[in-house]
Amino acid sequence: MELEAKLHEIKKPIMVLGTSSGAGKSLTVTAICRILKNLGEEPIPFKGQNMSNNAWVDWEGGEMAYSQALQAFACGINPSAEMNPILLKPQGNSISEVIHLGKSIGTTTAKNYYKDWFIPGWEVIKKSLKSIYEGNPNCRLIIEGAGSPVEMNLIHRDLTNLRVAKYLNANCILVTDIERGGVFAQIIGTLELMKPEEKKLIKGIIINRFRGDLSLFEEGKKWIENKTQIPVIGIIPWLNDSFPPEDSLDLLEKKSLFTNPEIKVGIIKLPSISNFSDFDPLENEETILIEWIKESQNLSKYDFIILPGSKQTIKDQIFLENSGLSQDIREYSKNKGNIIGICGGLQMLGTTLEDPFFKEGSKNYSQQKIKGIGLLPLKTTFFEKKLTRQIKSESIWPCQSEINGFEIHNGQTVLDENQSSLKIKPIFKDLDLGWYKENNKGGSIVGTYIHGIFENDSWRNHYINLIRKSKNLPKSNKLSICYEEKRETIINNLAQEFHNYLNLKSFLN
């Protein structure tokens, strides 16, 4: 039986729409997922289409947006690509990789996307919804919209906002960010642009990121309710959250929560940065300050630097060379510098990168083979097929411990026999997952394909203690506080704050 015929049997979905991108939809869904879990419900997150290079790999090897994976953790369930059936990964120049149900199926320009992918996209969304309900008949979907639901030039081909809301007859919440200003115009303008049958689906409004005395907005709340005939179900205060931003541009706005750090970390802000959630465990270390490096500079003030993942490795390596950052990194390595490259960052630390199938950004340049930074004797060739899988391994350096994470990359990396004089050792028992080299003057150069490496508490603590030792700082013994517990604490705190200010009773009938 088709899902449409069974909609009267399922628990009413809750959908969170926003007046704009960045209004707080993702965190609102995360909070509601945990609130409902605590109430004994079976929430499942869903976002029909997401555009993000911050990805996760599920246990079947399927790619999905990290934000939906985090929402699944808030529900107490394993993430699955069905929760984010369409993932678009921007590659620059208005081109995106298209991923359906976790598998890469092509690339598209923005101009041609809806002409070529709209119909199959809607079919894969319906297929995912049907599969979720068949496997979880008692669940309640908590659905996240994307951007604004009333982009009038796109609304006729919008896959993930009002089309999903109408298909499921969902109870919708409209979230707006008062920090941006113009909150009344955001709300009224969004509702006025909806068709009557769409507006009827909006059952509540949330005012997000309110600073100051909530009582001062009481008149504003009454005005909104009188004007719209829709209740304001929550005014959420400004929260100091530690979640990763959805968009890489928002990284530059993230401020460290800690004011007295003992270790300073510099992360290279690559133009095509991906998987920046890799650094959440470091963001939550009270002794660590993270700064983002955007331009050439003396890197000696940093205790270690990180080259993150990249969606366009060739393009980003050319950026490093042209900006002078490659030379800065080489100079830093000569002066007891500690460097970690993750995925694309690992590839860039090698000697050569070759892109015969134009998979990693070389199509826009005259070279399909370029030099890497040259600090590790590794060469990488990008092939047509991407590797995505969960990883369970064991580390050899800087400690022996079990390692969990995931791979998500194009490219095969092997030792460069022409650079055998550069001493290099494996980090893991699986020899192709990472390597390290110790500098003559101290410090280390490390490269790994494992995303989530810093979530492994023993590995992270041993590496940080190597840095602390080089600074003559006492050894840190915090193994009892694991990152997964910290993440749970953050989600619980987020849910509690929302629960304090949000009235969901009318949505749970």
CA distances from 39 to 42, 117, 227, 251, 458 (A): 9, 39, 33, 33, 34
Residues in CB range of 310: below 8 A, 6 or more apart: 270, 272, 273, 274, 316, 343, 344, 345, 348, 360
Backbone φ/ψ region at 452: left (φ over 0), alpha (ψ -120 to 50), beta? left
Is the Cβ–Cβ distance between 243 and 283 less than 8 Å?
Answer: no
What does the buried/exposed string (b/e) look like for 344-364 if buried means 16 or more CB atoms within 10 Å of the residue's CB?
bbbbbbbbbbbbeeebbbbbe
| Helix (H) and strand (E) counts in the chain | 13, 27
| Annotation says 499 is catalytic | no
| Annotation says 139 is catalytic | no
Tell me how far apart the alpha carbons of residues 76 and 447 are, in angstroms, rounded to a whole number. Answer: 32
- Residue in 343, 409, 482, 499 annotated catalytic: 343
Tell me how far apart the alpha carbons of residues 195 and 34 are, in angstroms, rounded to a whole number. Answer: 32
Quickly count: other Cβ atoms within 10 Å of residue 486's Cβ: 18
**Under DSSP, is residue 326 helix (H, G, I), strand (E, B) or coil?**
helix
Give the DSSP H or E segment for 130.
Answer: helix 110-135
Tell me how far apart the alpha carbons of residues 124 and 133 are, in angstroms, rounded to a whole number. Answer: 14
Tell me how far apart the alpha carbons of residues 231 and 205 are, in angstroms, rounded to a whole number. Answer: 6
Tell me how far apart the alpha carbons of residues 455 and 485 are, in angstroms, rounded to a whole number. Answer: 11
Which amino acid does the sequence have at 452?
G
Residues in CB range of 8: below 8 A, 6 or more apart: none
- Residue in 100, 172, 409, 451 annotated catalytic: 451
Beta bridge partners of 380: 353, 413
Backbone φ/ψ region at 241: left (φ over 0), alpha (ψ -120 to 50), beta? beta
289 φ, ψ (degrees, to nearest 5): -110, 130
CA distances from 425 to 343, 352, 439, 465 (A): 17, 19, 12, 20
Q: Which is nearest to 69 in space by CA: 59, 82, 52, 56?
A: 56
Catalytic residues: 343, 451
